[in-house]
Chains A and B, each alone.
Chain A
Amino acid sequence: MIDGATVLRFPWPSVERQRLGVAFGMWTFLASEILFFGGLFLSYAVYRSLYPQAFAVASHATSMFYGTINTALLLTSSFVMTLALHASKKRARALVVSCLLLTAAFGLAFLAVKGLEYAEDIDKGLIPGPGFTLEPDTTRLFFALYWVMTGIHAIHLAIGVALVVYLGAALLSERMATESPAVEATSLYWHFVDSIWLVLYALIYLPGRHAP
């Protein structure tokens, strides 16, 4: 081992086993997360099939511009995250740390853009409730789901940023070994949050776009 921090933790019998186990545990957790979002996706499917026109109208009111920028930002962040993982396997500590910080930066950029988009949405009166401006009424359902889905995604992403920063800091201060399984676990989580965004992008910004 190149650095002082140990990889093996109690109660694992070997580093190999631990690596497998940590990844396995993360996948299990992600299965759970998929069902968490699954409840929302199901609600979305129900209401979209009940009110297809309203959903097309509502989707037109969202900002394709911000949505697309954000998709690009997240895809890039995932790429950098993958570099971090590779570097960790090669035990290139400095490279891992810089990739992690870059990943976090892309994540923060996403959140900033999302904030701008939210501000514009509020301006346009797209919060269901008294000031809601869009017609017909059932577009509120779309926006109810919009706020919940993107809100929860943003919380997930914020947690992701915190994890990545924590990991980077731990590596930088040599409290954690470069090849720690935590890097893989964090990257799995990060990719998951990105994948959810890809689905959201398709659900929120694209419906009815081909129509005039």
Chain B
Amino acid sequence: MSQIAAVEPPPEESPTCTSYLDAGHTLVSWLTTTDHKRIGILYAIAITLFFFIAGFAIGLARLELMSPRGMLLTDEGYNRLFTLHGIVMVWFFLVPSIPATFGNFLIPLMIGARDVAFPRLNLLSWYIYLIGAGFTCYAIVAGGVDTGWTFYTPFSSLYANGNVVAAAAGVFVAGFSSIATGVNLITTTHMLRAPGMGWFRLPLFVWAIYATSLVMVLATPVLAMTLLLIVAERLFHLPVFNPHEGGDPILFQHLFWFYSHPAVYIMVLPAMGVISEVFSCFARRRVFGYVMMIYALLGIAIIGFFVWGHHMFVAGQSQYASLVFSFLSFMVAVPSAIKVFNWTATLYRGSISFEAPMIYAMGFLGLFTIGGLTGLFVASIPIDVHVTDTYFVVAHFHFIMVGGTVSAFFAALHFWWPKITGKLYSEAWARFAAIIMFLGFNTTFLPQFIMGYGGMPRRYHVYPQEFQVYHVISSMGALVLFAAYTLPLVYLGWSLFYGKRAGPNPWGATGLEWQTPSPPPEHNFDEIPRVDAPPYNYHPEKEEAFEPQGRS
């Protein structure tokens, strides 16, 4: 791809191409669009809604946890709240978050394609997602579910008295949406790359979404089948997981975690892709060890399929199985560490500028590292036996999923916002929000490691007095975090109306998506571009004059 040295916007947008935003202004034009960019935005709107629904649920729960006696909610009510939080956050926010929004928007642009391989399937998968969400909303409105997001049997299949069937149906249906997206993006990446765009010239974000899509396509169906079996057991009394009838509840856990551990990579691999793009842009350097980064992504995706048993150390699986799963879990740490070290090396001696996306990305680096290292703790059998089902685990996976994935989501949002909307946002506010988010996050979740290690179990809302101080700090942190998540709504929304126009390439980044106007034209490229150089062709030595236009 030709190097973008000049950062100047072209004097006049070429009049031949309308931007995808101007291609139609009616609601119908949006709801029937097959443009991958618009579908990305449809997803963004939907998941933002769910993010805040799930956030409010846990806000209530954290309020309840301020007092050790639990005065606000009943036991039942508390169970239903954290279940709602978990189900919605995992399946309706985290899983579709980066792949379905930025993946959809950017993959065709980044590889030089006019759209994804199957545009109508793409729209269909958004509607499938909404149908799934509809079922889940019904389950919530009808009184909620109390099984936790993991639906463990035999509780979920025999005893739970919430709307398990509706909730499971929602997740089941949403799964098909993620399979469809996966199939679409895999085919797009294989088949629609522009001439010259070889596999080892793809931006790492494309690689990350590709690896994620593989996991989606291969893991999601197993979850779907498992949920179907629960529903069969509840509705028709088929005894698959019922121990009284010879069924095996542990089998459920094997099937569930066979999906759900890889699912954490569905959440975190795209984040890794985002971080590579942002770091190399704001350090003005080629990603260190580009090829190694690709193998690391694939390594994580593949080994991720063989570690599910680390969720079952105390569930009654054979100790030999536990040993193997423990060992394999440590193996995942290797490619993960490669990524962290390579990012660090990318930053080393780079000419770094701290624009908002960069601050979010830096936050990711720190939080993901803590989350990953504590992953090694819980992958060690003796430590896991001690901390299983305590707040230690809660803190661990929040560092990965929230500190990691959500930080990266915000990094992506700020990095590509000018491309998507054609507008610049207030850099000062954005930096402020990024810093508040980092602080709020740590205030919320660091105390949870301590109390978890001290024995505070998860999923309880009455607890011994001694944990109160940690809970109070954590709840205060959650309040700050909530503010930090709402701020972008305000200043990004503001930028839509009053923001300065962004040129095609406000950060002076490389990549095909930055060679199109902002916002991009309806069919991406008038003429399919030719690619003749490796990605990340930054030249810091020649770049003294670099002054991102993002500042305002």
**B113 is an interface residue with CB less than 8 A from chain A:** yes
A210–B361 Cα gap in the complex (Å)? 64
Residues of A within 8 A of B117 (CB): 11-12, 21, 25
Q: Please pick, from B191, B222, B251, B254, the residue contacting A35 in the complex, using a CB distance under 8 A.
A: B222
Minimum C-beta distance from B377 to chain A (A): 30
A residues 106-151 in Cβ contact with B at 8 Å: 127-129, 137-138, 140-141, 144-145, 147-148
Residues of A within 8 A of B114 (CB): 10-11
Please report the total number of B residues contacting A with Cβ < 8 Å.
43
Q: Closest A-chain residue to B244, C-beta based? A: A137
A54–B246 Cα gap in the complex (Å)? 11
Whether B255 contacts A25 by the Cβ 8 Å rule is no
**A39 is an interface residue with CB less than 8 A from chain B:** yes
A residues 24-45 in Cβ contact with B at 8 Å: 24-25, 28-29, 31-33, 35-40, 42-43
Residues of B within 8 A of A33 (CB): 221
Whether B246 contacts A138 by the Cβ 8 Å rule is yes
Q: Choose, from B233-241, B390-398, B421-429, B529-537, the stretch at the interface.
A: B233-241
Minimum C-beta distance from B250 to chain A (A): 10
Whether B239 contacts A29 by the Cβ 8 Å rule is no
Counted as pairs of residues, one from A and one from B, with CB atoms less than 8 Å apart, the total is 120
**B174 is an interface residue with CB less than 8 A from chain A:** no
Interface residues of B: mostly helix, strand, loop or mixed? helix
Whether B191 contacts A20 by the Cβ 8 Å rule is yes
Residues of A within 8 A of B191 (CB): 17, 20-21, 24
Mask, B97-125, CB within 8 Å of A = 1, is 00000000000100001111111000000
Known: A11-B114, A21-B192, A140-B246. A147 touches B183 (CB 8 A): no
Mask, B229-272, CB within 8 Å of A = 1, is 10010001111100001111001001100000000000000000
Whether B183 contacts A50 by the Cβ 8 Å rule is no
Whether A39 contacts B226 by the Cβ 8 Å rule is yes
**B71 is an interface residue with CB less than 8 A from chain A:** no
Whether A148 contacts B217 by the Cβ 8 Å rule is no
**A13 is an interface residue with CB less than 8 A from chain B:** yes
Residues of B within 8 A of A140 (CB): 238-239, 245-246
Minimum C-beta distance from A6 to chain B (A): 16
A64–B497 Cα gap in the complex (Å)? 70
Whether A39 contacts B119 by the Cβ 8 Å rule is no
Q: Please pick, from B113, B184, B190, B218, the residue contacting A31 in the complex, using a CB distance under 8 A.
A: B218
**B298 is an interface residue with CB less than 8 A from chain A:** no
Known: A11-B192, A24-B191, A43-B251. A32 touches B238 (CB 8 A): no
Minimum C-beta distance from B286 to chain A (A): 30
**B225 is an interface residue with CB less than 8 A from chain A:** yes
Residues of B within 8 A of A46 (CB): 248, 251
Whether A50 contacts B523 by the Cβ 8 Å rule is no
Minimum C-beta distance from B66 to chain A (A): 42
Known: A11-B115, A11-B119. A32 touches B217 (CB 8 A): yes
A13–B240 Cα gap in the complex (Å)? 49
**A201 is an interface residue with CB less than 8 A from chain B:** no
Q: Please pick, from B190, B218, B240, B255, the residue contacting A144 in the complex, using a CB distance under 8 A.
A: B240
Residues of A within 8 A of B182 (CB): 28, 32
A24–B186 Cα gap in the complex (Å)? 9
Q: Please pick, from A17, A24, A43, A50, the residue contacting B240 in the complex, using a CB distance under 8 A.
A: A43
Q: Please pick, from B192, B218, B246, the residue contacting A141 in the complex, using a CB distance under 8 A.
A: B246
Mask, B443-463, CB within 8 Å of A = 1, is 000000000000000000000
Minimum C-beta distance from B530 to chain A (A): 13
A175–B118 Cα gap in the complex (Å)? 19
Whether A129 contacts B221 by the Cβ 8 Å rule is no
Whether B236 contacts A36 by the Cβ 8 Å rule is no
Whether A148 contacts B238 by the Cβ 8 Å rule is yes
Residues of B within 8 A of A24 (CB): 187, 190-191
Minimum C-beta distance from B195 to chain A (A): 9
Minimum C-beta distance from A89 to chain B (A): 20
Residues of B within 8 A of A35 (CB): 218-219, 221-222
Q: Please pick, from B118, B221, B247, the residue contacting A25 in the complex, using a CB distance under 8 A.
A: B118
Whether B245 contacts A138 by the Cβ 8 Å rule is yes
Whether B222 contacts A39 by the Cβ 8 Å rule is yes
A203–B240 Cα gap in the complex (Å)? 17
**B291 is an interface residue with CB less than 8 A from chain A:** no
Minimum C-beta distance from A70 to chain B (A): 22
Minimum C-beta distance from A103 to chain B (A): 24
Residues of A within 8 A of B255 (CB): 39, 42-43
B residues 154-199 in Cβ contact with A at 8 Å: 179, 182-184, 186-187, 190-192
**B405 is an interface residue with CB less than 8 A from chain A:** no
Whether B236 contacts A141 by the Cβ 8 Å rule is no
A17–B183 Cα gap in the complex (Å)? 17
A28–B254 Cα gap in the complex (Å)? 24
A17–B194 Cα gap in the complex (Å)? 12
Whether A141 contacts B222 by the Cβ 8 Å rule is no
A12–B184 Cα gap in the complex (Å)? 13
Residues of A within 8 A of B251 (CB): 43, 46
Q: Which 10 A-B pairs have the closest CB atoms?
A: A39-B225, A36-B221, A11-B114, A144-B238, A11-B115, A21-B191, A138-B246, A25-B187, A35-B221, A32-B217
A39-B255, A51-B246 known; 4 new pairs, CB 8 Å cut-off, are A21-B191, A28-B182, A39-B221, A39-B225
Supply 6 A–B pairs (Cβ within 8 Å), ascending by A: A11-B192, A25-B118, A38-B222, A39-B226, A128-B238, A147-B236
**Residues in A lying within 8 Å of B, measured CB to CB:** 10-13, 17, 20-21, 24-25, 28-29, 31-33, 35-40, 42-43, 46-47, 50-51, 54, 127-129, 137-138, 140-141, 144-145, 147-148, 152
